[in-house]
Amino acid sequence: MAVVWIGVCVAATLLSWRWFVHPAGTARWDARDRATWPTPGADAVVMFGGAGPRFDAALALVESGLAPTLVLSDPNDPPPDRATTPFETFCRGEEDFETICFDPEPRTTRGESRFVADLAQERGWRRIVLVTTADQARRARMLLGRCWSGLGDVVVVESDLHALGRVAYEWAATARAVFVRRSC
């Protein structure tokens, strides 16, 4: 029995590493190394809401000319000491590129995926660059892929949240997406 338990623990550790710490098919965000950035020509850079320097990465990618449109998910309520979230303030500004800000319904990765898929379909987009954290990348790509058949590059940023807690959360959220909520 101990051998089985050790085997399950080793398998879970290896899968966690591959799926939630260093997911395949993603580019690690490095603001100084443009060779790691996706190639230009995307229709939009999309930032799903959450922890880490997602906004800085998404903004830098659009400002570099990677895509003409920045799509920001802002599923959070403003902090108690402010009337707006930082993204609401940004979205009201004038930029040299198109900015689309949205509050997903529901306020989940699934809601974000649905909104982005509808927007991409409506605008005839073929390629987007999704900015998220490594722990969320696999599930975000899966959910977006269920709703939209376009191509997507994924750029991951470091999360500022506790890694073990994020991995545990992603195991549960991925299991729910695979076994319970199987549609777009």
The parent domain of residue 84 ranges over: 2-179
Instruction: Say which amino acid occupies 134.
Output: A
C-beta atoms surrounding 89 within 10 Å: 12
Percent of the chain with pLDDT over 90: 33
7 Cβ neighbours under 8 A, 6+ residues apart: none
Within a domain: residue 139?
A: yes
Entry pTM:
0.83
More confident residue, 48 or 3: 48
User: For position 114, what pLDDT does the model report?
Assistant: 95
Q: Is the pLDDT of residue 141 over 70?
A: yes
Establish if 184 belongs to a structural domain.
no
At residue 39, what are phi and psi to the nearest 5 degrees?
A: -75, 150
The predicted-structure confidence for 103-135, as pLDDT tens digits, reads as follows: 898 988 999 999 999 999 999 999 999 999 888
Q: What is the CATH number of the domain that holds 137?
A: 3.40.50
pLDDT at 167: 74
82 pLDDT above the threshold of 70: no
- CA geometry: angle 110, 174, 120, nearest 5 deg: 30
Around Cβ 135, how many Cβ atoms within 10 Å? 28
pLDDT at 88 over 80: no
In a domain, residue 113? The reply is: yes
- CA-CA distance, 69 to 154, in Å (whole number)? 16
Mean pLDDT of 131-157: 90
In a domain, 55, yes or no: yes
Question: Which of the four pLDDT bands, split at 50, 70 and 90, describes residue 96?
Answer: confident
- Residue 154 scores a pLDDT above 80: yes
Rounded Cα distance between 55 and 48, Å, is 9
Mean pLDDT for the stretch of residues 132-154:
89
How many domains, in total, are found in the chain? 1
pLDDT at 135: 86
Q: Is residue 44 part of a domain?
A: yes
- For residues 77 and 74, give the distance between their C-alpha atoms in angstroms, rounded to a whole number: 8
Question: Would you state the pLDDT for residue 130?
Answer: 94
Helix (H, G, I), strand (E, B) or coil at 82: coil
Total number of residues shown for the chain: 184
User: Which tens digits make up the pLDDT trace of 16-50?
Assistant: 666 666 676 677 777 777 777 788 899 999 999 87
